[in-house]
Structure 1
Amino acid sequence: MSERVMPGHTDGLITLGAADALWVDLTTDSAVPTASGAFTSSPAQARMGYVLLGGHAVATVRAGDGRWSVSEGEVRRAAAALNAVGMDRQDLVRIGPFRGAPRQECDEEAPLRWRRRITGELGGPERAARREVGRPYHLAGIDWRQILVEQTRDGTHRTWWLPRAVVRLLDAAEHAETQARDAGDRQTTNPEGPTATPRPYNKELEGQLYSVLSRKPGTSRRVAGWACAVCRGAPATVLDHCHEHGYVRAPLCQSCNTLERPDHLYSNDIRVANRYTRLFHTDTDDWLRHWHRCPGCRARTTLPLPHLAAWTAHIACRSLRPTHRAPRGRKPCGVLRVSWTGSQNAPRSGLLTVAVDCCPSGEHRVLAQVPYREAAERFRIWLAETAPALAAAAGPDPLDGLPAQSRPVIADTSGEGLALF
């Protein structure tokens, strides 16, 4: 028999079974699907002193009879926070598998590490067999299977994707768990919960080289203490840096770190995803400021080659892109691709070629060929019009201490499209 929640006792302690029922009841209409057994099914472990619900760590309390309980008010607060999350099922983030990533089985008492858990759950036949028997499995109370998107490339290589809103929730849950474990107090009933608020990033790492900083002990823990420098809401999980000049930009959450990457990156060309609409339109100021945290890009008033190529296709060549009829007017045709020859270190040799893939009038239709120097000059003019404060801070004045030559862009050899970013 399932346990019932007694109304009116929102500040008291309830059993885990009652908390399971309450969580499902409160989140029935949430855009993010939730799972039953959030407190009693793996990977939830009440004896660890907390249970993860969305981005919150809810403290657990052991009664005299040995049973574990939680604060009903905390469950309600976590549910209200989850219900406030909007989710775009088309805005997806790739979560795996990634070549070279260690395969690790996560036992029930291991940290959340939700990407590894999903990869392990989906990666092998023994896991598939376990799924067939209906074993309950959730992550921070979220039913990730309902929203997991599987894609195949060439009919062989599988990749898994989740909506960006859910990725941010799970990253926040991972951060909350880290703070709860570090606190060492597993039995607190503090209404605010055991999590700590990440502090804003205030240029503490500006001008430092990633190759040096990444080798320092404690860097990962230090990064986790900051809020993401772009969205300013989610906790930071990675230290983003400019691969062209080698400088640290800022701590970012995993979602923002993937947002700046194109759909696919090849040895000398990229596919310009629709997400660049956000980077170069609605969130332009945030992203330009982030990219110009690199002293090399700021001094030269430009962007790293892949980003400059994407900007050239998306902004400078926007009027050249063909359109076709759609139910609500006309829509841009195909998918933009930009390839380059030469090097950004030898501007006279650089040439960007903007083309459209999958265009009804012919695949790989070339729209324009733009010399690198012309693309860089167009970007400087656009920057001055779009973000005058950033343009005023850029230029040759900050060249003190900058290497005479920036590192050349190298081909991506990982197969995962991350090398240039």
Structure 2
Amino acid sequence: MRERVVPGRTGGLISSGAADALWAALTADSTVPTASAVLACSPADAQAGYVLLGSRVVAMVKTTDGTWRVPEAEVRRAAAELNAVEMDDQDLIRIGPFRGASMKDRDEGTLMRWRQRISRELQELGGPGPAAHSEGGWTSHLAGIDWRRILVQQIRDRTQRSWWLPRAVVRLLDAAEHAETQWLQAAQARQTSTAAARPPSHQQVRPADSRQTGPDAPPARPRPYNGELQGQLYTVLSRKPGASRTAAGWMCAVCRTASAAVLDHCHEHGYVRAPVCQSCNTQERPDHLYSNDIRVAGRYTRLFDTDAADWLRHWHRCPGCRARTTLPLPHLAAWTAHVACRSLRPTHRDARSSRARKPCGVLRVSWTGSQNTPRSCLLTVTVDFCPSGEHRVLAQVPYREAAERFGTWLAEAAPDVAAAAGPDRLDGLPARFRPVIADTSSEGQALF
């Protein structure tokens, strides 16, 4: 097959207009929608010497006539990486708005900060709709991705609105933001080293053994997490100076591919689990409809099936959950609906195939009581949005039974995690912070 001829090619470099056309042509069949005019007005500011295409930073070259040109090979690589991304438009992550988040002074420099940019544009332009340009130069795309075409707005009680994007796109934009940060830091480090190599004039010469610190220091590579925060209470650690930047020094302890952004912790026992990236932190969070009601979305297939060992190991980094060989109540409820009640879920004939069948509706699980009173806690698993109009109660499982089933399943699904868990030990667990067991009867204690 002959290679497509791109007008304006000069020694592997093409004009920005040709690069725009090439990007649009190569990503036309991508599951992630892309924009055509990417280099003409890029959120990464093409005049800074680079442009973001997907999760890749494409460095631009300024020719002798003062125009910017783009390496054609880099555009093709970025398009190939984007085309390999599989997007599930039903697996959504909330990206805003969040209470207390200020948009002021959050977009300095050329950093993409895609969450802030989306929130600012939607707030200024009145929500999702046709792409528009404001006076500040905001565009309908980020890193070449046309996010407006896949943004979902949900409205609750006619006043509260929230914005959602597919998880694959969130991970892609997070990777783009991280790549841009690393690229700018590396460029700054190169400039610093070049300036240091010049003969000193009015600047004081640094001692040879002095360590470079401060904003001009070369970027430190995130290190793997090896349990450095094990056994620490989140309420104590979060009060320490610089706690908000603590997680940035590690790689995500779950996916181990992205830089950590937050410290995930157990909301029942208060212990820090590990530093995780934004995507894994959102995936770990239960889909609460109400305080005692969650919807078991498709992402639980990954949490309890494909990547179960990694997630079980992560959850059991909490000493409280590990000692009791169980999960926090929302996660245990989701496991009960997704795994323990799997055989009870009815199926319907798939309209696309005469032989295939698909699970009925959407699973939902609610509970009465809490893990603090295990003998009175009851989990109710139901099916919502049944195609035949039924809203069926699949099962009602006592908390005691759910915990016992989980312990048996854990030994089969993740033997190493089960071996490190239990037996129940109260030594070292917080005495007052969110008491592990409020039910002091012998029956309640026997659960653990």
State whether TM-score is above 0.5: yes
Q: Secondary structure of 1:204's match?
A: coil
After superposition, the C-alpha distances for 1:150-180 in whole angstroms (9 at most, x for unaligned) are: 3444565443322221111100111122223
Deviation at 1:386, TM superposition (A): 1.7
- Matched to 2:183, the amino acid is A
Contact 2:324 2:424 in 1 (8 A): no
After superposition, the C-alpha distances for 1:275-303 in whole angstroms (9 at most, x for unaligned) are: 21221112211111111111111111000
User: Which residue number in structure 2 is paired with residue 278 of structure 1?
Assistant: 302
Q: How does 1:249-328 map to 2 (within 5 A)?
A: 249-327=273-351, 328=353
Contact 1:104 1:116 in 2 (8 A): no
Q: Secondary structure of 1:337's match?
A: strand
- Matched to 1:97, the amino acid is P
Q: Secondary structure of 1:141's match?
A: coil
Cα distance 1:395–1:321, how it changes in 2: closer, same or farther (>3 A)? same
Q: How does 1:23-172 map to 2 (within 5 A)?
A: 23-63=23-63, 66-104=66-104, 109=109, 111-125=111-125, 131-132=131-132, 136-153=139-156, 157-172=160-175
Deviation at 1:106, TM superposition (A): 6.0
Deviation at 1:403, TM superposition (A): 1.8
| Larger RCO (CA under 8 A, 6+ residues apart) | 1
Further displaced range: 26-35 or 381-390: 26-35
Rounded Cα–Cα distance in structure 2 between residues aligned with 1:16 and 1:197: 32
Contact 1:45 1:108 in 2 (8 A): no
Further displaced range: 125-134 or 215-224: 125-134
Contact 2:293 2:366 in 1 (8 A): yes
User: Which residue number in structure 2 is paired with residue 348 of structure 1?
Assistant: 375
Deviation at 1:41, TM superposition (A): 0.4
Q: Secondary structure of 2:44's match?
A: coil
Cα distance 1:70–1:301, how it changes in 2: closer, same or farther (>3 A)? same
Alpha-carbon RMSD across the aligned residues, in angstroms, is: 3.4
Cα distance 1:187–1:82, how it changes in 2: closer, same or farther (>3 A)? farther
Further displaced range: 70-79 or 307-316: 70-79
Cα distance 1:45–1:5, how it changes in 2: closer, same or farther (>3 A)? same
Cα distance 1:369–1:181, how it changes in 2: closer, same or farther (>3 A)? same
Q: Which has the larger radius of gyration?
A: 2
- Which one of 365, 376, 380 corresponds to residue 338 of structure 1? 365
- Residue identity over aligned pairs, in percent, reads 72
- Matched to 1:292, the amino acid is H
Please list every run of 5 or more consecutive structure 2 residues that lacks an aligned counterpart in the other structure.
Answer: 1-5, 192-217, 437-448
1:4 aligns with 2:4: no
After superposition, the C-alpha distances for 1:170-196 in whole angstroms (9 at most, x for unaligned) are: 0011112222343352888xxxxx998
Deviation at 1:89, TM superposition (A): 2.7
Cα distance 1:27–1:365, how it changes in 2: closer, same or farther (>3 A)? closer
- Matched to 2:289, the amino acid is L
Q: Secondary structure of 1:77's match?
A: helix
- Which one of 176, 195, 203 corresponds to residue 179 of structure 2? 176
Please list every run of 5 or more consecutive structure 1 residues that lacks an aligned counterpart in the other structure.
Answer: 189-193, 410-421
Contact 1:24 1:35 in 2 (8 A): yes
- Which one of 254, 264, 268 corresponds to residue 244 of structure 1? 268
Q: What count of residue pairs does the alignment treat as equivalent?
A: 399
- Which one of 420, 423, 436 corresponds to residue 393 of structure 1? 420
Cα distance 1:398–1:85, how it changes in 2: closer, same or farther (>3 A)? farther
- Matched to 2:9, the amino acid is M
User: Which residue number in structure 1 is paired with residue 212 of structure 2?
Assistant: none
Q: Secondary structure of 2:394's match?
A: strand
Q: How does 1:183-198 map to 2 (within 5 A)?
A: 183-185=186-188, 198=222
Q: How does 1:208-247 map to 2 (within 5 A)?
A: 208-247=232-271
User: Which residue number in structure 1 is paired with residue 440 of structure 2?
Assistant: none
Rounded Cα–Cα distance in structure 2 between residues aligned with 1:161 and 1:246: 28
Contact 1:41 1:137 in 2 (8 A): no
- Matched to 2:396, the amino acid is Q
After superposition, the C-alpha distances for 1:105-137 in whole angstroms (9 at most, x for unaligned) are: 765735322112112212234687994579743
Rounded Cα–Cα distance in structure 1 between residues aligned with 2:312 and 2:319: 13
TM-score (norm 2): 0.77
